[in-house]
Amino acid sequence: FLPIMCVRDMDQHGRGRASVTHAVVVIFLEFFAWGLLTTPMLTVLHETFPQHTFLMNGLVQGVKGFLSFLSAPLIGALSDIWGRKSFLLMTVFFTCAPIPFMRISPWWYFALISVSGIFAVTFSVIFAYVADITAEDERSTAYGLVSATFAASLVTSPAIGAYLSAQYGDSLVVLVATVIAVADIAFVFFVVPESLPDKMRLTSWGFPISWEQADPFASLRRVGKDTTVLLICVTVFLSYLPEAGQYSSFFLYLRQVIEFSPAAIAAFIAMVGILSIVAQTLLLSVLMRTIGNKNTVLLGLGFQLFQLAWYGFGSEPWMMWAAGTVAAMSSITFPAVSALVSHSAAPDQQGVVQGMITGIRGLCNGLGPALYGFIFYLFDVELNDMEPAAGRPSQSTEVNSVIPGPPFLFGACAVVFALLVAIFIPEHHQLAEVKTCSAHKSGTSSTAHAQNSSPLGTPTNDAEDIEPLLQNSSM
């Protein structure tokens, strides 16, 4: 269905014209392939690390996330110079590379997952790709669509993977996921056009990248000069830290502590995915128009706080289902934050700013799973059996009868601080320091970026030279 949409879009606008549909297809195929592996992943994880499963899972995901944090600013900056397509191809390839090794060698599989974090920053390039081809008043909706596609890819894929695993074994599931991943790589290579205009790209691959542009810590120090950017970054860190930890361990938690069956886990993912699609498409656009960008972020954080507190104290399956509906509503936070940052960045710096946000998420993807795994370990929540005996409560449920999910309660506390920080984000603000840095950096390549180094420059009369990002619009 999605490739048909893409072909239809190319027929209407001319072959090779970049569109949001291309980004949607890439994200859908990538995460659909990984969604198929939800059930086999639980089994392989437990078989590979029978002792301290939560802790080892956190360490594996932690290494991947920290490497993503280190590499995201560099990849984003390079995509601003040499274009999006080549780096999109690279990130998709390395993100999907570990999939076939799940059956070839589980140890190699987890090792490749860890090191794949160097290039597994697809969202960074995708958001920059979308920013290249959308006007400011359309961008928040486009970001919501891309984020909703991530949720849509997980609506049916875990259920399909669980069914195929039960009927035909995990090997077939891994094979199907590998074929879809290869199809995604082929789609990027043969179909996806370049989104960055030629005048904003360097034709030579010899352009030097300074250490300051590649250093994620230097990037954070630079944007810290602008108070608004600093507040946004702190908000992202405090809100995404518990989300990253939750995503890495929640399905294991549902299966062992709450005693969900594989079918129930697949149904839970489908429900949350469907509600997230509605929230990130219909609800997000309405909220952005009515209550504004900042209030949308605050509302999303409020839903996240409620959801994490419910996960922390909930001990019955119906509580998890109810909290899952709230979790879907909290999914509006990140696309709203991405739109806020994108609206304030220069056209030639979309990859840098999105790489910055993705880098912070990558840091959370490193710290969050490791932190959650460590807290589970401290509270003696372990995988003793993949299938608890009927009528016998799990050991972890007996030990933690008051707070069944202590890491989720910690996450709720972090979101409280995120809410307090987000309150101080100005409603309307131009990120002058970021743009000044953009102009400073472009001074080393004035020939390539002279037309775009100043976002306040007067556009030419040629309609083709007017970039969507230079058009002012209010939320």
DSSP string, 385-454: -SSPPTT---HHHHHTSS-S-HHHHHHHHHHHHHHHHHTTS-SS---HHHHHHHHHHHGGGHHHHTTTS-
* Per-residue pLDDT at 20 exceeds 60: yes
Q: How confident is the model at residue 455 (pLDDT cuts 50, 70, 90)?
A: very low
pLDDT at 11: 41
Please tell me the pTM assigned to this model: 0.65
* Per-residue pLDDT at 41 exceeds 70: yes
- CATH number of the domain where residue 222 is located: 1.20.1250.20
* Per-residue pLDDT at 115 exceeds 70: yes
pLDDT at 472: 31
pLDDT at 320: 87
**Which of 76-85, 163-172, 201-210, 251-260 has the weakest average pLDDT?**
201-210
More confident residue, 108 or 199: 108
For residue 121, give the 3-state DSSP assignment.
coil
Q: How confident is the model at residue 439 (pLDDT cuts 50, 70, 90)?
A: very low
More confident residue, 80 or 305: 305
- Residue (of 343, 147, 138, 144) closest to 228 by Cα position: 343
**Each residue's pLDDT tens digit, 410-428:** 999 999 999 999 888 776 6
Angstrom distance (rounded) from CA 285 to CA 293: 10
Q: How confident is the model at residue 200 (pLDDT cuts 50, 70, 90)?
A: low
Angstrom distance (rounded) from CA 263 to CA 444: 56
Q: What is the mean pLDDT of residues 44-70?
A: 79
**Phi, psi for residue 463 in degrees, rounded to 5:** -65, -30
- Residue (of 407, 396, 55) closest to 259 by Cα position: 396
**Each residue's pLDDT tens digit, 214-237:** 566 665 565 566 677 778 888 888
DSSP labels, 290-321: HT-HHHHHHHHHHHHHHHHHHHHH--SHHHHH
Q: How confident is the model at residue 64 (pLDDT cuts 50, 70, 90)?
A: confident
pLDDT at 417: 95
* Per-residue pLDDT at 25 exceeds 60: yes
DSSP labels, 46-61: HHH--SSHHHHHHHHH
SS3 content of the chain, % helix, strand, coil (to 5): 75, 0, 25
Give a yes or no: residue 395 inside a domain: no
Phi-psi region of 346 (alpha: psi -120 to 50; beta: other; left: phi over 0): beta
- Tokens at residue 302, please? 């409020």
Give a yes or no: residue 363 inside a domain: yes
Give a yes or no: residue 8 inside a domain: no
Give a yes or no: residue 462 inside a domain: no
Counted residue by residue, the chain has a size of 475
Q: What is the mean pLDDT of residues 49-56?
A: 77
* Per-residue pLDDT at 182 exceeds 90: yes
For residue 258, give the 3-state DSSP assignment.
coil
Angstrom distance (rounded) from CA 208 to CA 191: 29
Give a yes or no: residue 99 inside a domain: yes
Angstrom distance (rounded) from CA 427 to CA 295: 9
Cβ proximity of 284 and 340 under 8 Å = no
Cβ proximity of 431 and 345 under 8 Å = yes
For residue 380, give the 3-state DSSP assignment.
coil
Cβ proximity of 303 and 251 under 8 Å = no
Please give the tally of structural domains in the chain: 1
Q: How confident is the model at residue 158 (pLDDT cuts 50, 70, 90)?
A: confident
**Half-sphere exposure of residue 395, counting CA atoms within 13 Å on the CB side?**
9
**Half-sphere exposure of residue 221, counting CA atoms within 13 Å on the CB side?**
7
The per-residue pLDDT of the chain, averaged, comes to 74
Angstrom distance (rounded) from CA 458 to CA 134: 19
Angstrom distance (rounded) from CA 437 to CA 285: 31
Give a yes or no: residue 59 inside a domain: yes
Angstrom distance (rounded) from CA 208 to CA 194: 22
**Each residue's pLDDT tens digit, 187-199:** 999 999 988 776 5
Angstrom distance (rounded) from CA 407 to CA 57: 14
**Each residue's pLDDT tens digit, 281-304:** 788 888 888 887 788 889 999 999
Give a yes or no: residue 451 inside a domain: no
- Residue (of 80, 90, 85, 352) closest to 194 by Cα position: 85
Q: What is the mean pLDDT of residues 167-183?
A: 93
pLDDT at 44: 85
- Tokens at residue 136, please? 């400011």
Q: What is the mean pLDDT of residues 440-445?
A: 39
* Per-residue pLDDT at 355 exceeds 70: no
User: Of the ranges 170-174, 253-257, 466-470, which is most confident?
Assistant: 170-174
* Per-residue pLDDT at 442 exceeds 80: no
pLDDT at 132: 86
More confident residue, 206 or 167: 167
**Which of 91-105, 184-198, 453-467 has the weakest average pLDDT?**
453-467
Give a yes or no: residue 69 inside a domain: yes
* Per-residue pLDDT at 386 exceeds 90: no
* Per-residue pLDDT at 89 exceeds 90: yes
Tokens 């230079």 sit on residue: 470
pLDDT at 212: 58
pLDDT at 259: 78
Containing domain of residue 279, as a range? 20-195+216-383+404-424
